Structure 1
Amino acid sequence: MVSNNAANNHKWALLIGINKYPKLPEHKQLRGCENDVKLINKVLQENFSFPENQITRLFDEEATRQNILKALQELVDRVNRNDIVVIHYSGHGSRMTDRERDKPDGMDETIMPYDSGRDPHENRDITDDELYKWLLRLSEKTPYITLIFDSCHSGGIVRDPFGARDRWVEPDTRPIEQLPLSQVSATRSSGGTRDIGSSGWLPMSDRYILIAGCSAEESAWEYSKREGNSQIDHGALTYFLCRELRSAQSGTTYRDIFQPVSIQVTANKSVQHPQIEGAQDRELFNVHDIEPIRFVSIVERKHNKVILRAGAAHGMTEKSEWAIYPEATKQIDKETLKLGKVKITAVRAVTSDAEILEENSVGAIAVGTRAIEEAHFYGEMRLKVNIQVPTDYDVAKKDLIERIKESKLLHFAQEDEIADAMVYLIAPRSQVGADAPVPQLGAVNQPTWVVVGNGGQVAAPIRPVDEAGATAMLRENLEKIVRYKSVLALKNPNSQSLLKNKVKLTLKRQAFDGSYVEAQLKNDSGQIVFEDGDRLIMEIENLHNKPIYIYILDLGLASGVEQIYPVMGASQEFHTGKHSIGLRQGEEIKLYVPETFPYVPFPHNGSPAGGVETFKLFATTYPTDFSWLLQEGVRMVLGEQQPNQNKPLEQLLSMALTGNGNREVRRNNIPADEEWTTVEISFLLRRKIR
C-alpha cells in the first residue's frame, strides 16, 4: 500500500459507470464501464486508503442526470478544506449544440447519463460548462482533485463492427429551441473563451488533474482481456491506469504513471492517445507536489536508434547529447543510475531521432526511459544570405561574394534553406514595375545596395554601389544583424538552472503626476506601447535565495545593442526582493527613435513610424562584462575585446557574436556559482505624433 502522507486530509470519490443506454441502439451499448468502476474502487481502497463509506458508486439506472448532478453537489457540501477528491467516469461522451453561445465551433462537450438520448428522445447530457461550474465551486475548497474520463466526445461514423466498442455517440445537432434549457448562465463566459486543454474537456489548471482517455479528436476504446474461459471488458485507459496504480510506490507522481499508461493504451489501439492536464508532478491522490527533473521520454526503439518525444518546437538540436535514466527518475545525483547516452541525429517538429552512443546493458535504453540533455549543440550561429545582382555589375557582385565568404558570421543559403536576408543591387530605374525588387524604394537614380530582411522590410541603410568601402560596410551591417539576432535569441539551455524563473522584469511608465505605474498592453495592438521621449523605470524582482548580478541590454530598432544597466564596468549585487532601476539621478531611462529609422519609409498607413524594441536582462551569480559585445545600430564594427572564456555565459556569447566555435557542443554541468538566466520584454516604440 502506498503510504498516506496526507493523514489529515479526508479522501472522497465519485465513481460512475454506465453500460446500458435504453435510448440508444444496441451497437451503442457498452460492456466494460461497470467493470471499470469496480476496478478503480478496489484500487483506491486497497492501495490508497480511500474509506469505503466515502466512495459513491453509480451504475447504469442509478446514473441518471439528476443523480449524477446530485452526487456532485453532495461532494461540494461534504468536502472540507484541502481534502482529496477523485471523480471517475466511464461511459459515453458526445457533443451537443452550444446553448450559451460561448464556443467558437458552436458545440458543447458532454457526458451521457443513463437517461439521455438522441432525436427523438430527450437530450439529458451533462455539458462541460456544467461540469466546469461545479468544478469551480469544489476547487474553492480544495485543489487536490483528480478527474478521470474514460470516454470521448469525438469519433467517427465508420468503425469495425467486429472490433472493440468506442465510447462515443454522435453529436446532438438539434437547434437550441428543441433542447432543454441551459442550466448555465450565459454570462459565465463573459471573460472570453477558456483555455481548453488537449483533451478538449476542461480549461487547463493546477487546481486539478485531468486524465482523459484520448485527445479531443479521437475515440476512447474498450479493452478485452481473457480470464480463463471468460472475457472481461474494461475501458483501455482504466485497465492500464489501474495496473500502474497497483504497482505505484510512495512518491510516485501522476507524470510517472501516465507515461507507461499512455504507451500501453496506444499500443493497444494506435488511434487512441490518452491526455493528462494539470498538476502532473503531484503525488498520486495526495497533496504533495514533487519538483521533477525536466526530461524527454524515449517513445520508440529500433536496434541502435531511438525516438524522443521532443522536437524543434522544444529547442532540440542535432548533435546534442542526452544521458538516459530509468523511468520515474525525479532527481539526479552521483548515486543515480545512468543507463547510457544518445546523440540527436534528426529533428522534426515534435519528435527527434537519436543514435545510442553508450548503454550500460543490452536493452537498458527502452521505451519510457528519461533523457536529460548533457551537451547542447548550438549549430552554426550564422546569417543565411542570398544576393541578387543584375548581369552588368559582375565586379561589384564578385567583391560582395568574397567579403561574405570571409565572414565567420555569414554564409550563403543553400537551395533547401530559407535565407535570413537578401542583398539586392538595384539598377537605376525611373519607375517600379510589377515584379521589381524592393518596391518601397521607388525610383532609383544610381546603382544602390539594399538589404531586405525575411519580413520584407529594408534592414539596413541603403548604400550607393560606387561609394568607397560599400561592400565592406554591407558585410559589417549584415554581421551586426546576426549579432543582434543571436543576443535576442540567447537563452540558458540548462533546464535545471538554479535561476530559472527566479527573476522578474516589469516596465513602469511615468504618469502625468510624476509617479510610475506598470505599463499595460494596449487593447488595439496587444503590445506595450511607448513613444519617443517617454521615461520609464524597470522593476527587478529577485526570487532566488542568494544575491545575483543584473545586466540589462537594449536591443534597439536599428539592430543596436546597448547596455543600459549598470554603467559600463560596474557590477552590483541584487539581494532577494524587489529593486527599481531608473529612479536615481544618472540612471534615467529615456526612449528615442533613431533619426535614420526606418531606412526606407513604410507605406503610409496612418500610424507613426516605429518598431519593436527589446530590453534583455541577464541575471548571473557572478559579475561579468558585456562591453565587448555592444554595438551601435548597423554601421559600426564590433571591438576586439574578448570575454572571460571560462564562464558558460561568455562562452555562448562568444560563439554567437564572433562566429568562433560554430560547431561546438557545450556541457550543461554548470557550477552553482556560474548560473545565469535571461528575461526579456518587448514593446512598440514609435515616434510621437506631432
Structure 2
Amino acid sequence: MTLRALLIGAQTYGLTGVHADVALMRRVLVDRGFTDLDVRTGERARYAGIIEGMARLRRAVRPEDGVVVYYSGHGGLTDGLQYLVPVDMGESTLTDFRGYLAEELTAAVRALTEVTPNVTCVLDCCHSGGAVREAAYDSGRWALKSVQLPRVPPDAALARAALLAGPDDPLVPDVVRLTACEQHGSAYEAELRYGAGRQGVFTAALADLLEATADRPIPWAAVVARARDRIKQQQVLQWPDAGGPSGRLPFSLEEPSEPERLPLERREGRFRVPGGALFGLGAEDELSLVFPDDTAHREDGGTSVPATVEEMRGGDALLRAKPTPVSQADELSGALVPPGSYALAVRVHDRRQVLIDAVGPFADALREELTHSPRLAETREAHTAFAVVRLRDGRPEVLDRAGLPVRRPTDPAYADPSRLLALVDELARGERVRWLRDPQDASRLDAAADVQFEARRTTGDGGWRALGPMGERLHDGDLYRVTVHNRSWTPLYFWVLGVGLSGRTSLVTNDQPSGYRVEPGSRRATAPVRVYWPADVPETGPRPETIHLIAGDRRMDLGALASREARDRSAPTAAPALGALLQEVWDAVRDQRLDGDEEFHYRVWTVHADALPRPRGGGA
C-alpha cells in the first residue's frame, strides 16, 4: 500500500496564501506517511498541468493505495458552471475555456475510485460545496477567495461539461469530500501569526487538527466539524463540510461505530440542541453535555455535565444543566461552547420497545445491556415491540415488526450481547427516523415549497415517474431523486434522508450534509440515488423503504441522523452508551451560531414504499 497525493495550488487574482497552503498540507501528509506527492504550483498549475497531474495519479494508483487530491485557490460559479481557477484562466477564449470544471474533477475522481475506494478530495476555495477561493477583495485581515473573471461566453465550457456527466448520474461513491464552504459560499485566507503572510482559513484549521489528532482515531466528520467550530469562533462567516463516507478515519477505509452524538450550541446564555425535535428529544429527556479540551496540542479529555431538556422552542431543545460538585456548568456559562462539544442522550421519552423471547445467560446479558440504552426498553407484549430477539436452534436472531429476520444468521453481531444490542439500537434509530412527521406546532416551517419525488427503472423505458406518498414499489437497482421548488421569499435548506430496507438510515444529500441551499423562486434536485439490497439482509420481502425530504430555514449538519455502520460490513464493537461519555471517538455534528437567535423550523415530506429484492423485468 502506498499513500499518494496530488497537491494543486493556483495563486491567482490577488490571493497570496495558496503556496503556503500547499506547503503546509504537504508537510502534514508526509508526517502521515504519504510518500508519493505531486506538487503543482506556479506554471504547473495551468489547466493542462492539472489534467496531466490527474492522469499521472490515475496511472500510478494501485488497489489498496490511499489517495488525496488537494486544491487551494479560487473557485468559480457562473452560468451554472462550477469550476476551479487554474493560473492560466485569463487566457480563456471563445473556444478554449481554461477553467477546470466540476464535471472534469468528478470524472477524474471517479476514475481513481475504479482502482481504489480510499480517495479523499480536499477543496479550499469558494463554491467548493457540491463539487468544487472568488478578483479577491482585501478587507485588511481577511481576503475572499472568489474571483470576477473577464466575461467569456460559456459555450465551450458547456460543451465540455456535457461530454463528461449527465444530469442523472449518481454521485461518485467512496469519495470523502472535504470542502471549505457551501456551493454558494465563500472561503477566505487570513494573516498568519507574526505577520508571516496569508493562509487559507480552512487549510490552517484542518492541518492543525490533523497534526493534533495523528495518534487518535478521530473520523473525518469530527475533524471538519471541529475545524468549523474554530473558524466560526474567529468570526469568519465560512462553513466547512465533510461529505461522502466521512465516518472514515483519515486516509483509511476504517469506519468506527459510535453512540449518537447530537449538536450542541450556546445562545443567550442557554445550552440547546438545534433541531432537537428531529433527533427525537422532548421535555425532561436526560442528556450529558461533553466539552472536550481544545488547546492546540491537546485534543482529548474534557468535562461532562448532566442536563435535561427544559423546553422545546421551535424545533430546538433548550437544556437545563444540573448542579455538579465543581459547578462546571457555571464555569462554562459565560464562555463559547468549546470546539468539538456535543450532547449525548442518556434517557429519552421516545424509547423503542424490544421483546426478548429467550432465556439463559445470553438473554440475561442482553437485558443487562438494555438497561444502559438511552433509546431502548424491554417489553413483555409482542404487539408493542418494534423488534423481537429470540433463540433459534441455540442461535440468536432479530425479527422486525413483520416477523422477518433483519440480518442473515451468519452476522457476527449475533455472537456478542453488546454487539447484538448495538444492532437493535441501530434499528431503533432507523425506526425513529422512518416515522419522522411534518410538525404541527411552533417548529413548523412557514414557507411555501413544492416537493417532487420521482423514480426510474434500471430496465425497460428508463423514464422518470412521480412517486406517491404510499404504496409505491421499488426494486433493487431502481433510482430515485427529489426536486424542491422554493416558492417563498427567503432561502431554504433541504436534506434527503433514507431509511433503507435494512433499517439503516442514510443522509442521501451527504455531499452537502449541512443542507442544499435553494434560493427564492428557484428549483434544485438531488443526484439520483440507487435502491440496493444489502448482502447481509435475507432476500425476503417486501421490506419498507422510506424517503424523507426535510426543508428548514437555516443550515445544520444532520449527519447524526444517519447510521454509522459501514455498508455491507459489520461494525466493530460499540462502546456502551454511558461509558463513551469521555471517549471521544466521534464528534458528529454541531452548529454554534454566532449570528442571530432564531429557532430552527422545518417541514417533512415523505414517501413510504415497499422494496423488493430482484430488479424488475423490462416493462414490469
TM-score, normalised relative to structure 1: 0.48
SS class of match (2:142): coil
Distance (whole Å) between structure 2 residues aligned to residue 255 and residue 307 of structure 1: 21
Q: Which residue of 2 aligns with 1:144?
A: 118
- 1:294 shift after superposition: 1.5
Q: Check whether the contact 2:136–2:147 (CA below 8 A) recurs between aligned residues.
A: no
1:36 to 7, 21, 42: 21
SS class of match (1:165): strand
Q: Which residue of 1 aligns with 2:66?
A: 84
SS class of match (1:257): helix
Q: Which residue of 1 aligns with 2:273?
A: 308
Q: Check whether the contact 1:311–1:349 (CA below 8 A) recurs between aligned residues.
A: no
- 1:581–1:66: structure 2 CA closer, same or farther, 3 Å change rule? closer
- 1:318 maps to amino acid: A
Larger radius of gyration: 1
Q: Which residue of 2 aligns with 1:18?
A: 10
Indicate whether 1:63 and 2:45 are aligned: yes
The answer for unaligned runs of 5 or more in structure 2 is 295-300, 352-383, 385-400, 402-420, 432-458, 473-499, 505-535, 547-576, 579-606, 611-620
Q: Which residue of 1 aligns with 2:145?
A: 167
Where do 1:510-659 residues align within 5 Å? 524-527=465-468, 578=538
- 1:275 shift after superposition: 1.1
- 1:313–1:67: structure 2 CA closer, same or farther, 3 Å change rule? same
Indicate whether 1:322 and 2:287 are aligned: yes
Moved more, 344-353 or 139-148: 344-353
Q: Which residue of 1 aligns with 2:34?
A: 50
Q: Which residue of 2 aligns with 1:513?
A: none
Distance (whole Å) between structure 1 residues aligned to residue 196 and residue 429 of structure 2: 57
- 1:290–1:328: structure 2 CA closer, same or farther, 3 Å change rule? farther
- 1:315–1:11: structure 2 CA closer, same or farther, 3 Å change rule? same
Q: Check whether the contact 2:134–2:145 (CA below 8 A) recurs between aligned residues.
A: no
Q: What is the RMSD computed on CA atoms of the aligned residues?
A: 4.4
SS class of match (2:228): helix
Where do 1:89-238 residues align within 5 Å? 89-97=71-79, 107-117=80-90, 123-153=97-127, 161-170=139-148, 174-177=152-155, 179=156, 182-186=159-163, 188-189=165-166, 191=168, 194=170, 203=171, 206-227=173-194, 230-238=195-203
Distance (whole Å) between structure 2 residues aligned to residue 503 and residue 166 of structure 1: 41
Where do 1:234-273 residues align within 5 Å? 234-248=199-213, 249-273=215-239
Q: Check whether the contact 1:86–1:145 (CA below 8 A) recurs between aligned residues.
A: yes
- 1:35–1:347: structure 2 CA closer, same or farther, 3 Å change rule? farther
- 1:275–1:580: structure 2 CA closer, same or farther, 3 Å change rule? closer
Distance (whole Å) between structure 1 residues aligned to residue 145 and residue 216 of structure 2: 33
Q: Check whether the contact 2:126–2:134 (CA below 8 A) recurs between aligned residues.
A: no
Q: Check whether the contact 1:321–1:344 (CA below 8 A) recurs between aligned residues.
A: yes
Distance (whole Å) between structure 1 residues aligned to residue 127 and residue 85 of structure 2: 10
SS class of match (2:7): strand
- 1:616–1:268: structure 2 CA closer, same or farther, 3 Å change rule? closer
Q: Which residue of 2 aligns with 1:498?
A: 424
Cα deviation 1:310-346 (Å, max 9, x = unaligned): 33333333332211335499xxxxxx98712122234
Distance (whole Å) between structure 2 residues aligned to residue 185 and residue 175 of structure 1: 16
- 1:109 maps to amino acid: Q
Q: In percent, how many aligned pairs have the same letter?
A: 18
Cα deviation 1:518-541 (Å, max 9, x = unaligned): 9x999644249879xxxxxxxx98
SS class of match (1:219): coil
- 1:216 shift after superposition: 1.7
Distance (whole Å) between structure 1 residues aligned to residue 117 and residue 136 of structure 2: 40
- 1:376 shift after superposition: 1.7
SS class of match (1:30): coil
- 1:63 shift after superposition: 0.5
Q: Check whether the contact 1:345–1:352 (CA below 8 A) recurs between aligned residues.
A: yes
- 1:236–1:338: structure 2 CA closer, same or farther, 3 Å change rule? closer
Distance (whole Å) between structure 2 residues aligned to residue 328 and residue 578 of structure 1: 45
- 1:139 shift after superposition: 0.6
Distance (whole Å) between structure 2 residues aligned to residue 239 and residue 503 of structure 1: 36
Q: How many residues are paired up?
A: 382
Distance (whole Å) between structure 1 residues aligned to residue 470 and residue 311 of structure 2: 41
- 1:267 shift after superposition: 2.0
Q: Check whether the contact 1:262–1:273 (CA below 8 A) recurs between aligned residues.
A: yes
Distance (whole Å) between structure 1 residues aligned to residue 106 and residue 344 of structure 2: 36
- 1:288 shift after superposition: 1.4
- 1:317–1:180: structure 2 CA closer, same or farther, 3 Å change rule? same
Q: Which of the pair has the greater relative contact order for Cα pairs under 8 Å at 6+ separation?
A: 2
Q: Check whether the contact 1:236–1:265 (CA below 8 A) recurs between aligned residues.
A: yes
Distance (whole Å) between structure 1 residues aligned to residue 77 and residue 201 of structure 2: 21
Where do 1:325-474 residues align within 5 Å? 325=290, 327=292, 339-347=304-312, 351-359=316-324, 361-363=326-328, 366-367=337-338, 368-377=340-349
Q: Check whether the contact 2:89–2:99 (CA below 8 A) recurs between aligned residues.
A: yes
- 1:134 maps to amino acid: A
Cα deviation 1:530-568 (Å, max 9, x = unaligned): 79xxxxxxxx98899xxxxxxxxxxxxxxxxxxxxxxxx
Cα deviation 1:228-248 (Å, max 9, x = unaligned): xx3331000011111111111
- 1:92–1:349: structure 2 CA closer, same or farther, 3 Å change rule? farther
- 1:158 shift after superposition: 10
- 1:350–1:80: structure 2 CA closer, same or farther, 3 Å change rule? farther
Distance (whole Å) between structure 2 residues aligned to residue 37 and residue 158 of structure 1: 19
